[in-house]
Amino acid sequence: MPKAATRQKTVAKTTKSSTNGTGQKPDNLAKESKAVPVVKGLDLVDVDLAQAEYLERRKSQITAIKKLDKKLLREMLYQMVLGRRFEEKCAEVYRMGMIGGFCHLYIGQEAIGVGSMMALEPTDMVITSYRDHVQAMIKGMTPESVMAELYGKEGGCVKGKGGSMHMFSKEHEFYGGHGIVGGQIGVGTGMAYAAKYKETGQVTLCFFGEAAVNQGIFHESLNMAQLWKLPCIYICENNQYGMGTSQQRAMSSRSIAKKAEAFEMANEFVDGMDVMAVRDATLRAIERARKDGSPTLLEIRAYRFMGHSMSDPGNYRTRDEIKKYQERDPIVLFKDSLKESKVFADKDFEKIESEAVAAVDKAVKFAEESPFPAESELFTDVLA
């Protein structure tokens, strides 16, 4: 039997009787096992299996859509489309030399940011990696302030001094934008500790990629968060690659969600192409965090449609592999369900599309017209 097929079989067997993509129920999950959906063996490389699993779940997705406020559904779709068009424009202007330095795009992962962050209260906190432009906008930062930051201009959210990897806004409770893989896991845990200490009631969403899970900081942070009952939701955005290295080549175990069990922490595996599934899992985690401060690890699996960054030659995967995942495009899946639920029709999608394009054009115009920071800014806000 080929290796992938063996792995798939093993996974299907272990997830069948599980509540969280693993064979066991930690104590803190046992009582709420009914609320946690069974995710059948979604394999790392088998898109067909994932597609079949999604289609099986589609009915419940449509039921969930019907229960949700139409205004909220529209905003969710708008944010996903805005994120996609914004990032396509970033790629375009980057190639024209308008953006310097590193630039990591979020195309293909929009359902993760929208599904999770739009379940938060505005006062809740978010911290993330360098793949941060779209998440900054979902948290409420304007496309203008994000685009101008990419251009290194004064109108940027940190006055053009951070660039692509360092979006930040205290006002919007968005704490970066971090370039050190896994670094934000420690900082996010500290943010959750501060919220608990000060009794602010805030929840922290801490995003990181699957490659960061191999860093010591992940294990140290989760241990403390569970021990001290910190209101932190760890979201591993498993886009299956860390630069040019696939998860299979870098991680001895397959399930990231299951790693939380070493700390007896609640955990779930989620299909990151399905924005409603992401929202539901995040709402369950938020409830846990608000009720008794319990942390959660969510492994949300999607696929990075673009290269690691704008300078990635992309010679480590095939076009066929990318194409297969593009067939599960999270925006297309969401639109299909919205259409089937008769919530929105084609003319609504066209309107959303044109609003997103207009917002991106406005952001580019703002960035182009914004001046570069003055020389006198060179030594302000410099802490080290």
Per partner kind, with CB cut-offs from 5 to 8 A, the member of ligand TPP, Mg ion, none near residue 308 is ligand TPP
Coarse DSSP helix, strand, coil percentages of the chain, rounded to the nearest 5 percent? 50, 10, 40
Tell me the window of 135-143, 232-240, 257-265, 267-275 that interacts with Mg ion (CB under 5 A).
232-240
Per partner kind, with CB cut-offs from 5 to 8 A, the member of ligand TPP, Mg ion, none near residue 131 is ligand TPP
Torsion angle (degrees, nearest 10) of CA 234, 238, 243, 248: 120
* Residue closest to 112 by CA, chosen among 36, 245, 219, 208: 208
Radius of gyration of the chain (CA): 20
Tell me the window of 103-111, 125-133, 242-250, 291-299 that interacts with Mg ion (CB under 5 A).
242-250
Q: How many residues bind Mg ion (CB under 5 A)?
A: 4
CA distance linking residue 255 with residue 278, whole number of Å: 17
Judged by beta carbon, residue 155 or residue 209, the one nearer Mg ion is 209
Judged by beta carbon, residue 144 or residue 237, the one nearer ligand TPP is 237
Which phi and psi (to 5°) does residue 375 adopt?
Answer: -60, -35
Per partner kind, with CB cut-offs from 5 to 8 A, the member of ligand TPP, Mg ion, none near residue 212 is ligand TPP
Using DSSP, state whether 169 is helix, strand or coil: strand
Question: How far apart are CB 218 and ligand TPP at their closest, in Å?
Answer: 10
Query: For binding to ligand TPP (CB under 6 A), which residues are involved?
Result: 129, 131, 179-181, 209-212, 239, 241-243, 304, 308
Question: How far apart are CB 236 and ligand TPP at their closest, in Å?
Answer: 9
Tell me the window of 71-79, 150-158, 164-172, 206-214 that interacts with Mg ion (CB under 5 A).
206-214
C-beta separation of 380 from 103 below 8 A: no
Nearest position to ligand TPP, beta carbon: 209
C-beta separation of 62 from 341 below 8 A: yes
CA distance linking residue 334 with residue 274, whole number of Å: 7
Contact between 255 and Mg ion per CB under 5 A: no
* Degrees, nearest 5: CA angle 327-329-334: 120
Judged by beta carbon, residue 129 or residue 135, the one nearer ligand TPP is 129
Question: How far apart are CB 278 and ligand TPP at their closest, in Å?
Answer: 16
Judged by beta carbon, residue 37 or residue 307, the one nearer ligand TPP is 307
Contact between 209 and Mg ion per CB under 5 A: yes
Judged by beta carbon, residue 188 or residue 242, the one nearer Mg ion is 242
Residue from 8, 61, 129, 239 binding Mg ion (CB under 5 A): 239
In the region spanning residues 23 to 82, those forming contacts with Mg ion, defined by CB under 5 A, are: none
Judged by beta carbon, residue 279 or residue 308, the one nearer ligand TPP is 308
Nearest position to Mg ion, beta carbon: 209
Question: How far apart are CB 179 and ligand TPP at their closest, in Å?
Answer: 6
Beta-sheet pairing, 245-246 with 241-242: antiparallel
In the chain, the DSSP E strands lie at: 125-129, 174-178, 204-209, 232-238, 241-242, 245-246, 266-271, 296-301
Question: How far apart are CB 112 and ligand TPP at their closest, in Å?
Answer: 10
C-beta separation of 345 from 129 below 8 A: no
The DSSP annotation for 183-239 comes to: HHHHHHHHHHHHHHHHT----EEEEEEGGGGGSHHHHHHHHHHHHTT--EEEEEEE-
Return residues touching Mg ion (CB under 5 A): 209-210, 239, 242
